[in-house]
Chain A
Amino acid sequence: MTHLVEADLPSYPMARQCPYDPPPAMSELRSSRPVTRVKIWDGTSPWLVTRYEDVRDVLADPRFSADFRHPGYPGSSPAVKASRDVSPWFVNIDDPEHARYRRMLTAEFAVKRVAGYRPMIESAVEELLDAMADMPQPVDLVQAFALALPSIVVCEVMGIPYGDRGLWQEHSRVLFDVDSTPEQGAHADAELRSYLAQQLEEKKLNPGDDLLSRLAQRYIANGELTPVDGAAMALLLLVAGHETTANMIGMGTMMLLDHPDQAAEVRDGDEKTVQSAVEELLRILTVVHGGRRRVATEAVELGGVQIQAGDGVIASEPAANRDPEQYDDPDELDIHRSDNHHLAFGFGVHRCLGQPLARLELQIAYPALLRRFPDLALAVPTDQMTYRDSMIVYGVDEIPVSWGGRG
């Protein structure tokens, strides 16, 4: 057996070459060394796991802990590390404690419950598209629609004023930028927590029909949830609830415009076509692109490799979602792909809680946008856009679009 010496380890993350595809070097590793050591920003060398089945096995296996307080935990960035040192988000807590927090929210995101948000989302979409139609072209699709829609929706669901978005969108961006310093991360985090703690405090006094009011009334009022943990939970919902969907709307629209036949099917298709198109865009883009971080709590054999207790592990969903052993022509967009079962929302007990809401927003947003502007086109070539490589959630800074006279 050969051992790689430290200096030869590939650096992670690797560089992308095409904005729609994961780094080619990572795809190469999936076939040559599917479980292998890589070097990350803090100088440590966790295992990178890239095959679909292996990624699922890691994320579903309780021997791999999500607790970032463990010394071997491979952190995403100095800013995220600084933020989570304050009070952990429950995505970074293991069961049974994690389950106790998550169960306070499962009812909120049940499939049928979320379906009730459809009229609210549809009317937000129509309002944004009306406003966009009146703007001078080209328009930045990110600000006009892609970021605005999930921001409105997360405000409606949580019960916070949309007028405050200037505050939390910017702090959220700082928190999710791996190039932010620990000080910047800690500052953004503290501002967000104090804003949300204040919102929760207000809900205790003047409850409405919204998620934060229910948290305040049902769990904070009786001491089941401390105000500090409540604010951490609200912070997770807020940042996870808008950046992800925003970048899926933006990148997904770009990709559809690159595939006009499939875009036409999404525009004119039935519900089933739109649903499978959304799953396929989630698979192929996998905008939460940094890989899920874990640490082994005991020795585990994975893909023929022995992982020791205390070793860090990065399970890459973008790599898994392009695994040719799982998907035929994995690099091709095929909106009719059946049994998709992609890992864009993660896997295991930390699987994205808001996924029914994200799916519903995307299922409404893409066809509505394409119907309103049948001649929608990018106003600058994709190779002249700036991509968010350094962000926890991948995407594009600005997407200038135009649509001629029809819209």
Chain B
Amino acid sequence: MKIAIDHDGCIGSGECVLAAPEVFDQDDDGIVTLVGSDEVDGHDEAIRSAAHACPARIISLS
């Protein structure tokens, strides 16, 4: 799955980190970062859950 993130819109809620900690993390400012690359094998359900949970709706999947 390919993940696109609008970092400028991140509000640091951490919902993505709770839903998919293998994929999402927060930097020193609390803003979303990816643990690995933006192309992820597996964790599909957790990633979809993270995108749905994101209150700022800045995670898009393809």
A-side interface residues toward B, CB under 8 Å? 59-60, 99, 102-103, 106-113, 339, 341, 345-349, 351-353, 355-356
A59 — which chain B residues lie within 8 A by C-beta?
Answer: 55
B8-41 to A contact mask, C-beta < 8 Å, 1/0: 0101111101100000001011110000000000
* Inter-subunit contact A111/B17 (CB<8 Å): yes
Cα A327 to Cα B48 in complex, Å, equals 18
- Chain B residues with Cβ under 8 A from A353's Cβ? 12-13
Chain A residues within an 8 Å CB radius of B49: 339, 341
Q: Is the CB of B30 within 8 A of A110?
A: yes
Do residues B26 and A351 form an inter-chain contact, with CB atoms below 8 A?
no
* Cα distance, A339 to B49, chains bound together (Å): 7
Return 29 A-B CB contacts under 8 Å, by A number: A60-B56, A60-B57, A102-B12, A103-B12, A103-B29, A106-B29, A107-B28, A107-B29, A108-B30, A109-B12, A109-B30, A110-B14, A110-B26, A110-B30, A111-B26, A112-B17, A112-B26, A341-B49, A341-B53, A348-B55, A349-B9, A349-B11, A351-B13, A351-B15, A351-B56, A352-B13, A353-B12, A355-B13, A355-B14
The chain B residues found within 8 Å of chain A, CB to CB, are: 9, 11-15, 17-18, 26, 28-31, 49, 52-53, 55-57
Given known pairs A110-B30, A111-B26, A339-B49, the reply for A347 and B12 (CB within 8 Å) is: no
Question: What CA separation (Å) do A396 and B12 show in the bound complex?
Answer: 32
Contacts of A99 in B (CB 8 A): 11
Q: What is the CA–CA distance of A206 and B29 in the complex, to the nearest angstrom?
A: 24
B55 to A113, Cβ gap below 8 A?
Answer: no
Which residue in chain B gives the minimum CB-CB distance to A359?
Answer: B18
Instruction: Give the residues in chain B near A356, CB-CB below 8 Å.
Output: 14
Residues on the B chain within 8 Å of A348, using CB:
55-56
Please name all residues of chain A whose beta carbon is closer than 8 Å to the beta carbon of B53 when the two chains form the complex.
341
Please state if A111 and B18 are interface contacts (CB–CB under 8 Å). Answer: yes
- CA of A113 to CA of B25, assembled, Å: 12
Q: Chain A nearest CB: distance from B5 CB in Å? A: 15
User: Known contacts A106-B29, A349-B11; can you find 5 more A-B pairs with CB under 8 A?
Assistant: A60-B55, A109-B12, A112-B26, A351-B13, A353-B12
User: Which residues of chain A are near B17, meaning CB under 8 Å?
Assistant: 111-112
| A351 to B10 CA separation, bound complex (whole angstroms) | 11
Q: How far is the CA of A349 from the CA of B10 in the complex (A)?
A: 8
| Interchain CB contact under 8 A, A346 and B26 | no
Contacts of B15 in A (CB 8 A): 351
The answer to whether A107 and B55 have CB atoms under 8 Å apart is no
Name the residue of chain B whose CB is nearest to the CB of A352: B13
Tell me the minimal C-beta distance from B19 to chain A in angstroms.
Answer: 9
Which residues of chain B are near A352, meaning CB under 8 Å?
13
- Say how far B12's CB is from chain A's closest CB, in angstroms: 3
Q: Which of A110, A112, A347 contacts B55 (CB 8 A)?
A: A347
Name the CB-closest residue of B to A113.
B30
* B55→A106 contact, CB < 8 A: no
Which residues from chain A contact B57 at a C-beta distance below 8 Å?
Answer: 60
Q: Identify the interface centre among B9, B28, B52, B56: most chain A CB within 10 Å of its CB.
A: B56
**Is the beta-carbon distance between B56 and A349 smaller than 8 angstroms?**
yes
A113 to B29, CA, bound (A): 10
Top 3 A-B pairs, shortest CB-CB distance = A106-B12, A106-B30, A351-B55
A-chain residues with CB within 8 Å of residue B30 when the two chains form the complex = 106-110, 113
Please state if B11 and A102 are interface contacts (CB–CB under 8 Å). Answer: yes
Can you name the residue of chain B whose Cβ is closest to the Cβ of A102?
A: B11
Bound-complex Cα distance A150 to B56 (A): 27
